[in-house]
């Protein structure tokens, strides 16, 4: 944008401006006018150049011409320069970044693993801004692990091993990190046909008859919140009994959804969050609930009763894989699928749809579960995936992997990141259009630490003119703001030249409207009730009381305005002598319209552009025929109209004059049949 201001001219020396230049200029003028001495053209050129520069400094000119819209100040930089705006007066701010919180990376009780922590971006729409985001995996970062186990009957031998899992699992995790907690939950499936036998006896004991200890059929049950007490874990798990259902797939996704959404019940902390799903079967997903008559979709909400049982199991459908993936990402929970070899491929495909997830193969009795979890944790924690959440509309974010080797993508990845290793991701943010201030987060999946990004767009003029309510450019009745006048109360106009006086602004503007149409026809500014017309595309001015006229929009002939044979005046062609037509495209002549009898178009039309323009009903080059007309000699009547008599003319040449005389006589007698008219005329 170009605005009125005072440019810096470091190349001008003040001594030269104030002392040498006036003396030099005076001596040159004296030499030319008094002594009549010839001087060098270079001297004159130099003086003119400096005077022009000084005029711009001390007498700044308005960039807009009278009648031009102020909108012309805003354009591309090249166009504004072409129009003559000095570079120093162009407002063209770049996108900027301001760091609000920028603590250094650190370890300890409350480690800092990302830098910066909060930034503010001021973006030019369409102009991408790139910055660096640094992550350092801290040693001793706490771990929360929730063990979610399938208690269908086929997992009976696995449950026996898991009952003794607590202390060993906790010790293994503590060897990796300084602080760890474990929790436990179990699941089977919905207690409706065809998933579970709904016979009352079977609901109470869904296991085979020989099994003495059997849990009644259930969907999901939260057993133990996260704790660092391994013995408590073993005690609570040892109280669990196996259960059963009918079909092979289980309600795994139902259980995961509750474990993820019931944050307070589970006790998820500010830690690396792991969810271990142990099963030997596949899973039901969204849509399968219809088999049991369940139509309501999963609502992605915690629904546990006071006994920590999932109370919506038979009312809500299973969640979709997409819902599970989204909720896991929202809560920074990384799933580990500990499954048997028979279903490992199913869960490997599922893992592809859930970022930051791992699949491990259980032995038949789950005896290898501790090693499986440790290996999966090491893989998850060493593979860093950076992404964003709560991204506003019209904001685009892309990443380059650590090292910056790959192309931009919607996620940044970095593999084999050891504890203490610092990695940097390149993040590019772009605003697609002007927006209000918005906020979103960027961070590594599986970690609670996030970079908060506040985004606003630079869409307004950012001028810093000093307020002066008596600026000379505004007739001392307003201030210059970004190169335009902001008028004081009671004044208006491009330069505050209009005093409202006793009138209000609406009354003055009404004077600029023709028949309640657009103000100045949209071609000018209303100043003091008078239209000040804008310039046309060709640089001329609109004119007229309401700027309704211009001399550029007349009809063309052969791509020439008014055929090159006239002048365009207020939208109409004014033809030169000897030419006529809407576009002055034809010569004035009646040669082509004169009949053999000397009449013009047989008296039934007008001659335009040397051609007959016939009256309605008449045709032919000279309007000589009338196919739809009836001959008066074929009609009867006591009165004969003049236009009917004319129709006799083509059939009885040279008697038209006689018919006119007979018409007068017939009109007086009134009783003579009409067909005698032509007869009398012939005899006459």
Residues 49-102 pLDDT 10s: 655 555 544 444 567 765 566 677 788 888 888 888 888 788 888 899 999 999
Q: How far apart are CA 108 and CA 138, in angstroms?
A: 8
In whole angstroms, how far apart are CA 362 and each of 124, 149, 167, 341? 54, 12, 19, 7
In whole angstroms, how far apart are CA 117 and each of 101, 133, 134? 5, 9, 10
- Convert the pLDDT of each residue in 231-286 to its tens digit: 999 999 999 999 999 999 999 999 999 999 999 999 999 889 999 999 999 999 99
Would you say how long the chain is, in residues?
Answer: 684
In tens, the pLDDT along 318-350 reads: 999 999 999 999 999 999 999 999 999 999 999
**Phi (first) and psi of residue 419, to 5 degrees:** -60, 130
- Measured CA to CA, the distance from residue 277 to residue 50 in angstroms comes to 82
**Residue 642 DSSP SS3:** helix
**CA torsion 281→286→287→289, rounded to 10°?**
70
Superfamily of domain covering 96-138+385-457: ntegrin, alpha v. Chain A, domain 3 (2.60.40.1510)
The pairing of strands 566-569 and 572-575 is antiparallel
494 in Cβ contact with 486 (< 8 Å): no
Alpha-carbon Rg for the chain, nearest whole angstrom, is 47
Distance CA(418)–CA(558), nearest Å, equals 78
Contacts for 86 with CB less than 8 Å, ≥ 6 apart: 7, 56
Fold of 556-588: Laminin (2.10.25)
Closest CA to 496 of 506, 504, 485: 485
List Cβ<8 Å contacts ≥24 apart for 649-658.
649/602, 650/624, 650/625, 652/678, 652/681, 652/682, 655/681, 655/682, 658/684
Rounded to an integer, what distance in angstroms lies between the CA atom of residue 488 and that of residue 470? 9
Contact 248, 282 (CB under 8 A): yes
Give burial (CB, 10 Å; 0-12/13-18/19+) of 75. Answer: middle
% of the chain at pLDDT higher than 70: 80
Between strands 180-187 and 491-492, the pairing is unpaired
* Separation between Cα atoms, residue 342 and residue 235, nearest integer Å: 30
More confident: 304 or 46: 304
> Burial of 659 by CB count in 10 Å (0-12 exposed, 13-18 middle, 19+ buried)?
buried
What is the pLDDT confidence band of residue 639, given thresholds at 50, 70 and 90? very low
Per DSSP, helices labelled H in 83-142 are: none
Helix or strand holding residue 201 (H, E): helix 200-204
Q: What is the pLDDT of residues 557-599, one digit of tens each?
A: 989 999 999 999 998 999 999 888 889 988 888 888 989 888 9
- Can you tell me the distance from the alpha carbon of 366 to that of 157, in angstroms, rounded to the nearest whole number? 8
d(CA 6, CA 213) in angstroms, rounded, equals 92
Cβ atoms of residues 453 and 340 within 8 Å: no
- Strands 451-457 vs 118-123: parallel, antiparallel or unpaired: parallel
| Helices 230-238 and 166-176: angle between axes, nearest 10 degrees | 150
CA dist., res. 510 & res. 529, Å (int): 7
506 vs 106, higher pLDDT: 106
| pLDDT value of residue 241 | 92
- How far separated are the first and last CA of the chain, in Å rounded? 90
Gap between the Cα atoms of 98 and 220, Å rounded:
48
Q: Is the pLDDT of residue 364 over 90?
A: no
Q: How many CB atoms lie within 10 A of CB 314?
A: 16
CA–CA gap between residue 180 and residue 206 (Å, rounded):
36
Are 472-530 and 556-588 the same fold in CATH? yes
| Domain 472-530 class, CATH top level | mainly beta
Contact predicate 388/427, CB 8 Å: no
Residue 222, pLDDT score: 97
Mean pLDDT score of the chain, rounded to an integer?
82
Enumerate residues 6+ apart whose C-beta is below 8 A from 103. 112, 115, 116, 117
Report the sign of the C-alpha dihedral through residues 162, 163, 164, 170, in that order.
positive
CA neighbor of 161 nearest in space, from 358, 375, 362, 334: 362
Neighbouring CB atoms inside 10 A of 44's CB total 12
- Residue 161 and residue 146: Cα distance in Å, rounded? 17
How many angstroms separate the CA atoms of 27 and 35, rounded?
10
251, 255, 257, 260 alpha-carbon torsion, rounded to 10°: -160
Mean pLDDT on 373-396: 89
CATH class of 143-384: alpha beta
Query: Edge-to-edge strands of the sheet including 384-389?
Result: 96-101, 118-123, 451-457, 438-444, 384-389, 412-414
- Answer yes or no: pTM beyond 0.75: no
Return the DSSP state at 595. -
pLDDT digits (tens, 9 = 90+) for 199-224: 999 999 999 877 778 999 999 999 99
Rounded Cα distance, 34 and 184, in Å: 108
Pairing mode of beta strands 143-150, 272-279:
parallel
- Under DSSP, the state recorded for 10 is T
Domain ranges of the chain: 14-89, 96-138+385-457, 143-384, 472-530, 556-588, 629-684
């Amino acid at each position: 944008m170009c605005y009125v201001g005072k440019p810096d001219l470091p190349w001008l020396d003040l001594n030269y401006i104030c002392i040498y230049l006036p003396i030099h200029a005076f001596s040159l003028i004296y030499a030319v006018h008094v002594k009549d001495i010839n001087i060098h053209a270079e001297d004159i050129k130099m003086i003119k150049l400096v005077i022009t520069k000084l005029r711009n400094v001390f007498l700044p000119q308005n960039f807009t011409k009278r009648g031009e819209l102020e909108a012309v100040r805003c354009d591309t930089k090249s166009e504004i320069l072409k129009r003559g705006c000095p570079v120093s007066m162009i407002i063209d701010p770049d996108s900027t970044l301001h760091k609000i919180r920028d603590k250094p990376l650190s370890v300890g009780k409350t480690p800092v693993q990302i830098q910066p922590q909060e930034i503010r971006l001021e973006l030019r729409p369409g102009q991408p801004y790139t910055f660096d985001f640094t992550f350092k995996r801290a040693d001793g970062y706490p771990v929360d692990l929730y063990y979610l186990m399938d208690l269908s009957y086929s997992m009976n031998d696995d449950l026996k091993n898991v009952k003794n899992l607590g202390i060993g699992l906790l010790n293994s995790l503590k060897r990796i990190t300084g602080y760890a907690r474990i929790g436990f939950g179990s699941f089977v499936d919905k207690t409706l046909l065809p998933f579970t036998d709904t016979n009352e006896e079977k609901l109470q004991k869904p296991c085979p008859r020989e099994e003495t200890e059997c849990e009644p059929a259930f969907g999901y049950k939260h057993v133990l919140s996260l704790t660092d007490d391994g013995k408590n874990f073993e005690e609570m798990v040892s109280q669990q009994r196996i259960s059963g259902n009918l079909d092979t797939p289980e309600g795994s996704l139902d259980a995961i959804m509750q474990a993820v959404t019931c944050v307070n019940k589970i006790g998820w902390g500010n830690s690396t969050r792991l969810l271990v799903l142990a099963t030997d079967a596949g899973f039901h997903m969204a849509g399968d609930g219809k088999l049991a008559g369940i139509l309501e979709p999963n609502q992605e909400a915690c629904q546990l009763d006071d006994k920590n049982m999932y109370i919506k199991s038979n009312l809500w459908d299973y969640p979709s894989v997409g819902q599970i993936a989204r909720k896991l990402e929202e809560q920074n929970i990384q799933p580990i699928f500990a499954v048997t070899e028979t279903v490992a491929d199913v869960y490997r495909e599922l893992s592809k749809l859930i970022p930051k997830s791992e699949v491990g193969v259980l032995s038949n009795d789950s005896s290898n579960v501790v090693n499986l979890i440790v290996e999966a944790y090491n893989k998850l924690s060493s593979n860093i995936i950076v992404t964003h959440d709560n991204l506003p509309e019209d904001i685009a974010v892309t990443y380059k992997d650590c090292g910056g080797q790959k192309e931009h993508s919607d996620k940044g990845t970095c593999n084999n990141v050891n504890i203490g290793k610092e990695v940097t991701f390149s993040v590019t943010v772009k605003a697609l259009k002007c927006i209000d201030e918005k906020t979103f987060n960027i961070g590594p999946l599986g970690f609670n630490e996030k970079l908060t990004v506040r985004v606003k767009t630079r869409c307004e003029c950012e001028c810093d003119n000093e307020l002066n309510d008596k600026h000379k450019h505004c007739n001392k009745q307003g201030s210059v703001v970004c190169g335009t006048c902001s008028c004081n109360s009671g004044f208006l106009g491009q330069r505050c030249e209009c005093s409202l006086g006793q009138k209000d602004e609406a009354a003055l503007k009404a004077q600029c409207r023709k028949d309640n149409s657009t103000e100045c026809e949209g071609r000018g500014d209303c100043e003091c009730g008078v239209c000040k017309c804008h310039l046309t595309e060709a640089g001329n001015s609109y004119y007229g009381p309401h700027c309704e006229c211009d001399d550029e929009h007349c009809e063309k002939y052969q791509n020439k305005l008014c055929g090159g044979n006239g002048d365009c005046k207020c939208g109409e062609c004014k033809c030169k002598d000897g030419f006529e037509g809407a576009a002055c495209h034809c010569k004035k002549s009646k040669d082509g319209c004169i009949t053999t009898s000397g009449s013009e178009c047989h008296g039934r039309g007008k001659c335009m552009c040397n051609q007959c323009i016939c009256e309605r009903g008449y045709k032919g080059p000279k309007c000589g025929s009338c196919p739809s007309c009836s001959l008066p000699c074929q009609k009867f009547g006591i009165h004969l109209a003049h236009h009917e008599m004319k129709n006799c003319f083509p059939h009885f040449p040279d008697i038209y004059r006689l018919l006119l005389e007979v018409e007068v006589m017939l009109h007086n007698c009134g009783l003579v049949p009409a067909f005698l008219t032509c007869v009398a005329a012939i005899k006459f």
